[in-house]
Amino acid sequence: MALKATIHKVGVSFSDLDRNVYADHEITLARHPSETAERMMVRLLAWVLNVPENNDHGTLEFGKDMWEPEEPSLVRNDLTGLRLHEIEIGQPEEKRLVRACGRSKQVTVYTFSSTAAAWWAGVAEKLARVKNLAVWQLPPEQVKALAALVDRTLTLQITVQDGVITVDGGGRSVEVAAARLFG
């Protein structure tokens, strides 16, 4: 019998003091059996940091990347179906990113592994010509601390101030200092 996804219900109160964006979200996350808690939390964080203020130009949705390898982790299409934003989690291949940049107005990568520097060194030169790509590195030890917050039902307060992301939940607090590698 195949293993099924684990469903997580997440309530997020988001405050981005740098951009004056404030919102509350109720999110249902399906966690694939092969997805780590770290990756799921990075996917959630990527959604919260990139969700539009309103849905007038389309919604940001979780992709089917764990089930369909060619799909992005998150995707935002406008109301006509035009791809506005693709978000990849991890260390995607250079060809995949070039393809994504060709079909989307904006592409963002969130990498969180201890091997991220070596991955980026291997693809940075090949991606230098791409203009609509942003790459962010999240420190692995901070992502591991985020994973410790995982539960089937989560209530999180996420605050961005001076470029530092603070995630409060379950009586614990984790600071994440994302570093921009490109874009």
What pairs with residue 33 in β-bridges? none
Are the CB atoms for 3 and 30 separated by under 8 Å? no
pLDDT number for residue 137: 97
pLDDT number for residue 58: 86
> Per CATH, the architecture of 6-182 is what?
Roll (3.10)
pLDDT in tens, 57-77: 889 999 887 778 788 999 999
**CB proximity list for 70: less than 8 A, separation 6 or greater:** none
- The gap from C-alpha 165 to its chain's centroid, in whole angstroms, comes to 13
Are the CB atoms for 85 and 93 separated by under 8 Å? no
- Measure the CA angle with vertex 180, ends 149 and 173; round to 5°: 20
pLDDT number for residue 35: 93
Q: How buried is residue 106: exposed, middle or buried, by Cβ count under 10 Å (0-12/13-18/19+)?
A: middle
Distance separating alpha carbons of residues 45 and 22, to the nearest angstrom: 15
φ/ψ of 47, rounded to 5, equals -65, -50
Domain boundaries, the chain: 6-182
What pairs with residue 74 in β-bridges? 62, 87
**pLDDT tens, per residue, the chain with 183 residues:** 567 889 999 999 999 999 899 999 999 999 999 999 999 999 999 999 999 888 888 899 998 877 787 889 999 999 999 999 999 999 999 999 999 999 999 999 999 999 999 999 999 999 999 999 999 999 999 999 999 999 999 999 999 999 999 999 989 999 999 999 999
pLDDT number for residue 54: 81
pLDDT number for residue 1: 57
**Which of 96, 102, 89 lies closest to 37, judged by CA?**
89
What is the model's pTM?
0.94
